[in-house]
Structure formats: structure tokens, C-alpha cells
A and B are shown apart, each in its own frame.
Chain A
Amino acid sequence: MDAVIQFTSQSQGRDRIFRTTQYACALAAYFLRNTSKRKDLVAKLKSLEVNMSAGRKLFRLGNTVNSIEAARRTMQLSDRALCLCLTAANINRALYFFCDNLLWARSVGLIRTIDKEHWSLNASRFYFLSLVMNLTRDVYVVSQLMLHIARDKHFRQKMAQHLNESPEIAEAVIPQMDAFLFLLLESLKTHPAVALDMVKNVCDLFIPLDRLGIHQSNAGVVGFCGLISSLIGIVTLAQPKLRMKP
């Protein structure tokens, strides 16, 4: 009980729960869309999804400042690649939140003059760029880990053993490819935080890709990806050791 209270007392914790509910509703509504008996339930799910989305928009007011502050911190990082990726990601996230705030103001009638569609696309564009930068960072971290593990003597023995265990497969599949995949899996296995962050960002990427029309996927895929990403977000928040640092 204490853990739940501690989790919900964090703004981020509540936001993740609402996001999970939002995408769970989207996914459930997609699966039930053709069931004529469940039309009332689908309407309720859609209403709940809209309500969660609107609530989250208000709840995220002021997050722009958090992102700018995060960008200021990441500028101090010694690793140039990390510094570039994280600072760019945080700046894009700040711009995404800013667009989101404008859209919220438009939805409650505070600002009438702005073009909703245009700013919605802008928000998705910044969100997409933020995710691309985060994924670039993940790839960079994974490559660093792979280089580090490849130098390890113990791992080399393990690799040789793995390749010798199934020579007929090693002949059929390109040995370099097999070695690369083995190295990649080993790196991710030993660093679950990186693996989770990568999966989360890949899942999140489908949302702006669909909105921007770059890679059209249905509401079910978007709902599923959003749900998985939100659940990973909850896990990383509940278990700080599974969170990527910096």
C-alpha cells in the first residue's frame, strides 16, 4: 500500500497511470468496434479516452520548464554524443509540451485564433524528433556496451562455445551475423535498463509516425504500442534501477 501511495504522489506516476488507461481504452475500443452489442461500451471507452487525454494535457502544463531544466543539465555531460542526443531530445520535448499547452488552451477556448490541426502536427513532429534522438542515444549506448563486452575474455570463450555448439546453423547463417546478434542479446540481457528504454522508445515511435502519416498504422497498433510503452514507463518509475541514466 505504501508503495502505491508513494508512486501516486509523484506527478509522473499519476501521468503514467492515466496514459496507460488512455491507450488501454483506445485498444479495447478498437477490438470492440465491430461488435454491435457493445456499441454503448465502445462509446464509454472513447469518452474515457478523451477525458484522460484532456486531463493529461492540463496535468502537463509546466512540464516545458522541466524539459528545459533537463536540457540545461544534459549540456554539462562529458560524453559528446550523449550530450548532443539528450540535449536535443529534451529541447524537442520542451517544444512538444509547449505545442501541447497551446492545444489545451485552444480546447478550453482560451485561444481561438490558432489552427488546431497545424499545431497538432507540430506537436507530433517535435515528439517524433525527441524519440528519434532518444533512440539514437539508445543505439549509441548499446554499441558502447557491445564494444565493452566484446573485449571481455570470459565473453569470448562463451561466444566460441556458442558458435561451436551448432556448426551447421553457423554455416547456414552468416557467422558474423550470429556473433553480432549473440553479442547484442548479451549486452541487453546484462543491461535491462537499456533494453527497456529501447523497447519503450520503439513503441512510442509508432504514435507520431501514424499521426504524421509517415507510417500509417491502425488505431489498434497505436493503442497497443502506447499501452506497452506506458507499462514500461510505470515499471521504470516503480523500480528506479531499471531507469536509464543519465
Chain B
Amino acid sequence: MDSWVRFNAQSQAKEKVIRAAQYACTLLGYTLQKGGAAAQLHKIICQLEAHMSLTRKLLRLGNSVEALEAAKRAIHLSDSMLRLCLTIGHLNRAMYFACDNILWAGKTGLISNLDQHKWSQRSFRYYLFTLILNLTRDVYELNLLMECEARNRATKSPPSPYPSTALPADHQTYSSSPAALPTVGLPVISVWLRRQFHLLVTVLYSNPPLLLDLLKNSCDIFIPLDRLGIYPTGTGFVGACGLASSVLSILTIIHPWLKLKP
């Protein structure tokens, strides 16, 4: 009960719960449509989804300021790659929220004659840029951790617990990339790939915040890709991705140690 009260006291937490409900409605609406359910029920679900979406737009008023403040903080990071990704990511998020606020004003009738489609597209474009930058940051962090893990393994160099993945002795020095194996055939490349995959799994397993952030951003990216028509996936898939991403976000709020820092 106490944890619920604490969770409920955060506006971000409420927004994420509403987002989860919104995408659950999207998914449910798609399922009902596929299953040939009553038109009345489908209409109610769509109505509920629209209501959730509009309320979330209201809840996000003023989030541009938070995103700008986050960008101001990210500018001071020492790692230039992180600084670039996070600062531009937050600036794009601020622009996305600004477009979203204009859309909200249009939907509530505060701004008449607003081209909602144009502003919606603009909003999703900024959202897509934000997600691309977030994913770039995730891949960068992942790469750093994998390099670190590979170095640790090289210094320790214990007998491999996976004999099948061990490279021949004369190729040990080239294990960093398959391109460095000019005379070696397909088996060695597959061994290298297997080793890299094992390294990736190890790194992600030992860094749950990075894994969650990567999954969350990967799920989220399908939403603007679909809405912008770059990669149409359909309502059902968008609903499932949105729901998965929202559940992961809720997890990071409940357990702050699962949140990727900075």
C-alpha cells in the first residue's frame, strides 16, 4: 500500500500508467477488430484510447521546460559522445513536447484552424530523432562495456568454458573483428560471431539498466516509424510495442536502480 501511495505521488508514474492503458486499448481495439467483436465495444475502446491520449497531452504540458533543463545538465558531461547524444536527444524531446502542446491546444479548441496532421507529423519526427539518439547512446554504452569485458577476459584469460567458441591459437590476436581474418573461412567468422554474441549477452545480463533502456527504445521506435509511414507495422504491433515500453518505464520508476544514468 505504501509503495503504491509513493508511486501514485509522482506525476511521471501516473503518466506512464495512463500510457500503458492507452496502448493496451490500442492493442485490445486491434484484437477486437480482428476477432470481429461488436462495433459498439470497439467504439468504446477507441473512445477510451482517444481520451487517454488527450489527457496525457494535458499532463505533459510544461515538460518542454524539464527537457530543456535536462539538456542543460547533459551539456556538462565529460564524455563527448554521451554529451552529444543526450543534449541533442533532450533538445529534440523539448521540441516534441512543444509540438505536442500545440496539438493539445488544437484538439481542445484553443487554437482554431490548426493543421493537426502536420503538427502530429512534426511531433513524431522529433520523437523519432530523440529515440535514434537514445539508441545511439545505448549502442555506444554497450560497445564500451563490451570492450571493457573483452579486455578483462584477455587479462584473466582463463580456459574457455565454451571450447567450441575458442579460436585457434594462431588467430587469437585477431579476435577483435572478422575483417582482421583475411585468410580464414566461414567457420572462424561464425566462431567470432558466437563469441561476440556471448559477450553481448554477458554484458547485458550484468547491466539490467542498459538492457531495459535498449529494449524500451527499441519498442518505442516502431511508434513514430509507423506513424510517419517510414516502416508501417500496423496498429496491433504499435500497441504491443507501446505497452511493452510503458511497462518497462513503470519498472524503472518502481526500481530507480534500473534507470540508466546519466
Contact = CB atoms under 8 A, between A and B. Distances in A.
Interface of A: 1-2, 4-5, 8-14, 18, 43-44, 47-48, 51-52, 54-55, 58-59, 62-63, 65-66, 69, 108-110
- Residues of B contacting A: mostly: helix
26 contacts: A1-B65, A1-B69, A4-B62, A5-B65, A5-B69, A8-B11, A8-B62, A8-B66, A9-B10, A10-B10, A11-B8, A11-B13, A11-B14, A12-B9, A14-B59, A18-B58, A47-B109, A47-B110, A48-B109, A51-B54, A51-B108, A55-B59, A58-B18, A62-B4, A66-B5, A109-B44
Nearest to A14: B11
Interface residues of B, number: 29
A77 B54 CA distance: 42
B110 A44 contact: yes
B12 interface: yes
Nearest to B18: A58
B47 A59 contact: no
A10 B8 CA distance: 9
Interface string B1-37: 1101100111111100010000000000000000000
Interface of B: 1-2, 4-5, 8-14, 18, 43-44, 47-48, 51-52, 54-55, 58-59, 62, 65-66, 69, 108-110
B195 to A, nearest CB: 44
A85 B9 CA distance: 24
Nearest to A52: B58
A47 to B, nearest CB: 5
B50 to A, nearest CB: 9
Contacts of A69: 1-2, 5
B10 to A, nearest CB: 6
